[in-house]
Structure 1
């Protein structure tokens, strides 16, 4: 007997036909890893201006390339993370998120205090004597920042003598904000009406944009807290991605829709200062997902996601290059060197930390399949085959990538 083929969703379209036909994102055949890598590299370039001391770089309404890249990370994450939460128990969801974010973050902190900061200290003093005891000590750095919220960014008064002193990794602050967004979606997953209704998610998204539009008033209730500032600023991007996830069957990806969304995003971002970027989040993530579903990437890149590693290691690499004076040979060469040195760290992070930990987390939470049913004689000459659950889409950090 031949089992009947499972019925495909009408919006599951082969890649070769996606350029012109309505479709939804295939979680196993897309270019999101490449998109996230581009966003991480944009953050690297944006930081280069500050770290090398050559100005602020291109800006729009006070946001540079890195800011817009972080916005992109948060919209993608909101889309994917919502799918993860709504298809898993809270415990499984939380374990997967922690496995994706924390181990690589911890290793990065350790690498900073054992590789980058000692080199910076030696370069400044000609010796490592006093490195372990100079405030703020390496141990202080690890303990104070271990639980994701960055309390400070310097180690033993390094980096010093550089255009951007006192910060070994100015990218890590966004990971705490992203994790709070994970918790928000995790909590919303307990509310049945939120899981069932895109209207409710849309209302929550609108409220988050309203909070950003009135951020001065809202922040007054938090005493001007810096964490609250960034949470209010970035949560709309996350919820915008979550909203599009809930509309994925009713609003399929299509080239015409992507064109309209791109125009709408541009108009809002350029003409509405203060909250236009946040209001455009669902439109922006629509464009990103359409590009990721249509533009092909090598299968190697689909299997390996080094964007998180690029995001968390680029900043200390860039600082070290400046300490060594390599930024004086031109801005372009400095950026190329930063990419070339960062990539081995990112690849090692993916192969040795991120991927193994995520695989263990998936194995630990894998639900057993159904017991095989006893064979029966089919009444109508066909086998009944239970539908298979779709695999959970791969989630990202941040990133504030990502992330």
Structure 2
């Protein structure tokens, strides 16, 4: 058996391919309610889309914690900002000024002021307003042009927590701290699952944060936790049982995290080339929902569920590719600016940042 730190090479793995698969699974899951052709698929008490988003959070918890440990707080925060916000802002603009405008040209309800308010109020991920429902009149799922974006706020909050907490070395040196954080997050989630609200910010936080903490904990324990085929089978059975017993929300994050890290380490090497160096998973996640709503308004619901899913993948992929090449990758080219600013401020030579990016050519 090989420890996770040895098995999961942070430069050569299949995690980017897994993230692309997860983004596609979110799209597939959303195709059901968006088309109105069938109920959204569940595994026990968890929606397929929720499991896929949880997978994103587990991988982020592992990789982002590694990134923080290998960079200063300023550099870490700058890179996280560049990775999330430019793509997010452009997706907001596309949703309001392209997708909703196209819907509004036929159904009415679109206005520059409403679209502008939506973009500006949502730009910080804290506030937010909605686009006029009339732009989606006649669609099976009204009320949202981009129902995927709400998860990004919790991703960013996890980034902030990691950035601050891992700045205190003692919190990372003590392995029990990460274990306690995961146990605490799981306990809160279990309580909310049993007696708490089934919607709202508290529910959202308890639904997603434990996945992130599970990934972070497995990084901390990577010298002790072994990624093996037998372990993956045990994790798969544990995840399946938790979901079928309707405790998948509180008890599913850890086995899912183990499964995905094992897959990232053990998948055939051909999958390492997927998403390296071009990672389209974020763009797929950002644009799938509004593109799917447009397809519904264009009448592609008549293709049936399978046809609609295929059309969704084909139609969203160009937007994901464009997002990477036109927005995300150019933004990440500025990731070394803090080091340059420090050099300029001190007027002293500084060695180039030789720390490796967690995956391929880019960070989470």
Normalization by structure 1: what TM-score?
A: 0.80
Q: Does 1:312 align with 2:292?
A: no
Change (3 A) 1:336 1:150: farther
How far 1:11 moved relative to its partner? 6.1
Q: Of residues 184, 196, 215 in structure 1, which corresponds to 2:161?
A: 184
Q: Of residues 111, 121, 125 in structure 1, which corresponds to 2:94?
A: 111
User: What is aligned with 1:266?
Assistant: 240
How far 1:90 moved relative to its partner? 1.5
For residues 230-286 of structure 1, what are the alpha-carbon distances to aligned partners after superposition, in whole Å with 9 as ceiling and x for unaligned?
A: 112211111000000111122232223222222233233333x34x44334233212
For residues 344-381 of structure 1, what are the alpha-carbon distances to aligned partners after superposition, in whole Å with 9 as ceiling and x for unaligned?
A: 10001111111121121135447989989xxxxxxxxx
State the alpha-carbon separation in 1 of the partners of residues 208 and 230 from structure 2. Answer: 28
Q: Of residues 13, 36, 43 in structure 2, which corresponds to 1:60?
A: 43
The within-5 A match list for 1:161-172 is: 161-172=138-149
How far 1:320 moved relative to its partner? 0.3
State the alpha-carbon separation in 2 of the partners of residues 32 and 152 from structure 1. Answer: 34
Q: Is the 8 A contact 1:264 1:283 kept in 2?
A: yes
Q: Of residues 34, 54, 58 in structure 2, which corresponds to 1:71?
A: 54
Change (3 A) 1:131 1:277: closer
Q: Does 1:278 align with 2:250?
A: yes
How far 1:216 moved relative to its partner? 6.8
State the alpha-carbon separation in 2 of the partners of residues 156 and 66 from structure 1. Answer: 24
User: What is aligned with 1:401?
Assistant: none
For residues 327-360 of structure 1, what are the alpha-carbon distances to aligned partners after superposition, in whole Å with 9 as ceiling and x for unaligned?
A: 1121111111111110010001111111121121
Structure 2: which 5+ runs fail to align?
none
More helix by proportion, 1 or 2? 2
Q: Of residues 186, 201, 205 in structure 1, which corresponds to 2:182?
A: 205
Q: Does 1:174 align with 2:157?
A: no
Whichever of the two has the greater Rg, that structure is 1
Give SS of 1:330's match: helix
Q: Of residues 350, 353, 358 in structure 2, which corresponds to 1:393?
A: 358
Give SS of 2:275's match: helix
Normalization by structure 2: what TM-score?
A: 0.88
Change (3 A) 1:338 1:288: same
Number of aligned positions between the proteins: 353
The within-5 A match list for 1:317-332 is: 317-332=291-306
The within-5 A match list for 1:110-129 is: 110-125=93-108
Give SS of 1:158's match: helix
Q: Is the 8 A contact 1:138 1:156 kept in 2?
A: no
State the alpha-carbon separation in 2 of the partners of residues 253 and 81 from structure 1. Answer: 20
User: What is aligned with 1:148?
Assistant: 125
Change (3 A) 1:252 1:60: closer
The within-5 A match list for 1:249-264 is: 249-264=223-238
Q: Does 1:341 align with 2:315?
A: yes
Q: Does 1:233 align with 2:195?
A: no
How far 1:187 moved relative to its partner? 2.1
Q: Is the 8 A contact 2:46 2:243 kept in 1?
A: no
Change (3 A) 1:371 1:327: closer
- Over the aligned positions, Cα root-mean-square deviation in angstroms equals 2.7
Change (3 A) 1:238 1:155: same
State the alpha-carbon separation in 2 of the partners of residues 143 and 156 from structure 1. Answer: 18
How far 1:289 moved relative to its partner? 1.4
State the alpha-carbon separation in 2 of the partners of residues 354 and 371 from structure 1. Answer: 27
Q: Is the 8 A contact 2:88 2:286 kept in 1?
A: yes
Q: Does 1:131 align with 2:114?
A: no
Q: Is the 8 A contact 2:14 2:274 kept in 1?
A: no
Structure 1: which 5+ runs fail to align?
1-9, 13-21, 373-387, 398-403
Q: Is the 8 A contact 1:49 1:56 kept in 2?
A: yes
Change (3 A) 1:362 1:290: farther
Q: Is the 8 A contact 2:45 2:249 kept in 1?
A: no
User: What is aligned with 1:289?
Assistant: 261
State the alpha-carbon separation in 1 of the partners of residues 160 and 272 from structure 2. Answer: 33
